[in-house]
Amino acid sequence: MMKKGFDNELYLKVQSKKIKERLKKFDNKLYLEFGGKLFDDYHAMRVLPGFEADSKIRMLLELKDICEIVFCINAGDIERNKIRADYGITYDMDVLRLIDKLKSLGLQVNSVVITLYNGQPRAESFKKKLEARGMKAYIHTPTKGYPTDVETIVSEEGYGKNPYIETTKPLVVMTAPGPCSGKLATCLSQLYHEYKRGIQAGYAKFETFPVWDLPLKHPVNIAYEAATADLKDVNMIDYFHLDKYGISSVNYNRDLEVFPVLKDILYKITGEEIYSSPTDMGVNTIGKCIIDDKVVQEAAKAEIIRRYYQALCDCKTGNGDMETAKRIKVLMNELDLKESDRKVVDVALKKAETEKRHVISLELPNGKIITGKQTELLNPASSLLINAMKELTHIPDEIDLLSPSVLEPIQKFKSKDIEHATLNLQEVIIALSICSVTNPIIAKAFKNLKKLAGCEAHASYIVTNGDKNEFRNLRINLTMEPVFYSNDLYEVE
């Protein structure tokens, strides 16, 4: 069993308490800029073993009586169909997905704000779609005078041009499907309108990473840099905080760069100097919930290597650039990390070289590494899954978990459109689930799949999106060599 380095229950308790304490400092109205993923925060789960993917939602559920949620989405992201990589869906569709999930949990979603609107047709269409489904939607245009002309920003020509979002709860959580979605500007726009109405509302920021009270070069903070290397984020000592309090804390370049402007805007709106540093603005308590620093450091180092492989593959497929991979490689060098530190890598590459075909390796919970390769019926991912189920259930290798008589009709049907088709991971999982109804051995093996959560795997090739999604569903941490499976321009899912 994976060792825990993080106390999730403690986190839920202290984090909700911290937010309530910040709320009390203002006129019972706090706009909380909420960074990171609301659901499925797998990055935090990987670098902080013990952190649960739904922790942020559980924390909000503890605050649901006093909180409501506003989504921000950049009109430019809608226009260019920006994709959320972990789900393969566009940002606008992700907003709809998240609203449905939040409502099903009993959380109040107030509205959606389309930010930086400049006549984008898709953004206008998305607004109409939201309104047709009964969801309030607002349009915010670029703020006149930003970032240098504070007089104009904090005026009827700046924030005053934005429509006021009517809210009823003391705590307003401002969230988004991804970065650069206009959360901060929307919070400040609301503050402007609140003060015009005589309400001394406040602003605070909840951002999981970087962890302000860990060292600058702690692997958890470096893993955050690796995760945002494409954005060119760089962790830095918060020199505003150090100068004011003599305390070293960690923030990142974008927050530090914008803070002087933000400080001036807040002072112009409120007439008070509320915060002296970006660290002051934060309410994150995650660093206080680390219970085993060694475990957390090792997990973070593993994540940095995974991010490096992802960047290499993104470059190969045209979804990224080599500069991102180079930045992560520099971070690896800082911690003296090598690709071979990931044990499954060498196993997959050596097996692929020996077999002269592509291979995926997997480290099981007991430390044993197994492999899967392409056969006449199965692709490497499918072979690996069946081999893993056999190993976990102690089924002899010579026994077919799935009979060829079951698989061949599926392959035959698939081959009508695809020459020499092998079965992918989803097709095999469906076949196994059907057979498990009548076969108790398969049923037992199928239940053992949950033991693969958190296991490490490496492919000697770029796995197709369909198989990647199934690895993600099984919560297997997959990395891949930046090598195409074949020379075909069109690869079958």
DSSP secondary structure string for all residues of 281-300: HB---GGGGBS-HHHHHHHH
Q: Residue 427: its pLDDT value, please?
A: 87
Band of the pLDDT at 47, cuts 50, 70, 90?
very high
Tell me the average pLDDT across 258-271: 95
Q: Is residue 267 predicted with pLDDT exceeding 70?
A: yes
Q: Is residue 344 predicted with pLDDT exceeding 80?
A: yes
Tell me the average pLDDT across 404-432: 74
Tell me the average pLDDT across 201-208: 95
Tell me the average pLDDT across 38-48: 90
Half-sphere exposure of 474 toward its Cβ, with a 13 Å CA cutoff? 28
Q: Is residue 337 predicted with pLDDT exceeding 70?
A: yes
To 5 degrees, how large is the angle CA 77–CA 111–CA 92?
Answer: 25
Q: How far apart are CA 84 and CA 313, in angstroms?
A: 16
Q: How far apart are CA 315 and CA 324, in angstroms?
A: 9
Q: Residue 489: its pLDDT value, please?
A: 55
Q: Residue 100: its pLDDT value, please?
A: 96
Q: Residue 378: its pLDDT value, please?
A: 87
> Which residue would you say has higher pLDDT here, 41 or 486?
41
Q: Is residue 486 predicted with pLDDT exceeding 60?
A: yes
Q: Residue 1: its pLDDT value, please?
A: 58
CATH code 3.10.630.10 region(s) in the chain: 8-289
List, for residues 447-484, the tens digit of each pLDDT value: 999 999 999 999 999 999 889 989 999 999 999 999 99
Q: Residue 156: its pLDDT value, please?
A: 96
SS3 (DSSP) at 355: helix
What count of residues does the chain have? 493
Q: Residue 492: its pLDDT value, please?
A: 47
Tell me the average pLDDT across 260-264: 95
Q: Give residue 227's Cα distance to chain centre.
A: 9
Band of the pLDDT at 85, cuts 50, 70, 90?
low
Band of the pLDDT at 488, cuts 50, 70, 90?
low
Q: Is residue 114 predicted with pLDDT exceeding 90?
A: yes
Beta-carbon count within 10 A of 232 CB = 12
Lowest-confidence pick of 65-69, 177-181, 183-187: 177-181
List, for residues 274-293, the tens digit of each pLDDT value: 999 999 999 999 999 999 99
> Which residue would you say has higher pLDDT here, 159 or 87?
159
Please give the mean pLDDT across all residues of the chain.
92
Please give the C-alpha separations between residue 376 and each of 360, 379, 387, 423, in angstroms, as whole numbers.
16, 8, 16, 9
Q: Which CATH code fits 343-480?
A: 3.40.140.40
Tell me the average pLDDT across 212-230: 96
CATH code 3.40.140.40 region(s) in the chain: 343-480
Q: Of all residues in the chain, what percent carry a pLDDT higher than 70?
A: 96
Cβ(311)–Cβ(305) below 8 Å: no
Q: Residue 493: its pLDDT value, please?
A: 46
As given in the structure block, the two tokens for residue 372 are 């899967």
Q: Which CATH code fits 8-289?
A: 3.10.630.10
